[in-house]
Amino acid sequence: MADLNHWRHRRSVRARARAAEFAAGASHLEGADLLEVAIKEAFVGDIAIASSFGTEAVALLALAAEIDPAVPVIFLDTGKLFPEALAYRRTVVEHLGLTHVRTAGPDILDIAAIDASGDLWKRQPDACCYLRKVVPLVQAVTPYGAWITGRKRYQGDGRAALQPIEASDGWVKINPLAHWTKQDIFGLIAQRKLPKHPLLEHGYLSVGCQPCTQPVTPLGDERDRRWSGQDKSECGIHTIAPEAPLGHAGSGDQGATI
């Protein structure tokens, strides 16, 4: 554990230095401008997009595809997703011409040992997210120094102060749409005639795992039907970094599946 902690400390120090250096020249940028500098200049070959292919994800992916359709995109398949979400992923990849999309998911041996009954989400939702989301995604992005996310400030209190460039858990995290509004996002989707998520018309404004996502009420916040009835608003991907893999690092990566 001492060696692992030392590795994490060195990675965190490096990430903070790189984030500060990048922010010094790019803090005034956002959207496509920030993406282009990050992908083409600052982190060439050392950056990936983590995308849920959710209801708003196509906006960020469209901007990135225009810059470099071969930018690595990591899609997290928890094994609990809506069938419509999996179909939508294929639609978006084909529409945008993305060429380097890979799927990461929980290791089957970890699932057998920890969630063989498949109902951990009901008994221990934080543990389920850690098993099915946090660990596999951290493993998938570990080779990269920078990680692009689709987070926005309007998505909830925990993201209200989100900055476009930050150092977090050993990565430079780039949030090019941090200051965008919902109108900006769906305006771009409409303007470019991008494919819409099929669950939108059924009231799902934020789509996660099927057991933990419900349609939003007419006056509800877009994420208030994620983990409904629980004191939980984040899966942990952006708030928790595992100190070690659960046991089978990397074998949950299912490779290129476009």
To which residue do tokens 């470099």 refer?
68
Tokens, residue 58: 């196509």
Q: Is 7 helix (H, G, I), strand (E, B) or coil?
A: helix
Q: How far is CA 16 from the centre of its chain?
A: 20
User: 211-239: string of b/e by CB count within 10 Å (b at 16+)?
Assistant: ebbbebeeeebbbbbbbeeeeebbbbbbe
Tokens, residue 98: 């993305």
Return d(Cα 68, Cα 20) in angstroms, integer. 24
* Contact (Cβ atoms closer than 8 angstroms) between residue 206 and residue 226: yes
Spot the catalytic one: 128, 209, 212, 235. 235
CA dihedral defined by 110, 115, 117, 118, rounded to 10 degrees?
-100
* Contact (Cβ atoms closer than 8 angstroms) between residue 227 and residue 122: no
Return d(Cα 20, Cα 132) in angstroms, integer. 32
Catalytic-residue membership of 235 = yes
* End-to-end CA separation in angstroms for the chain: 37
Residues belonging to the active site = 235
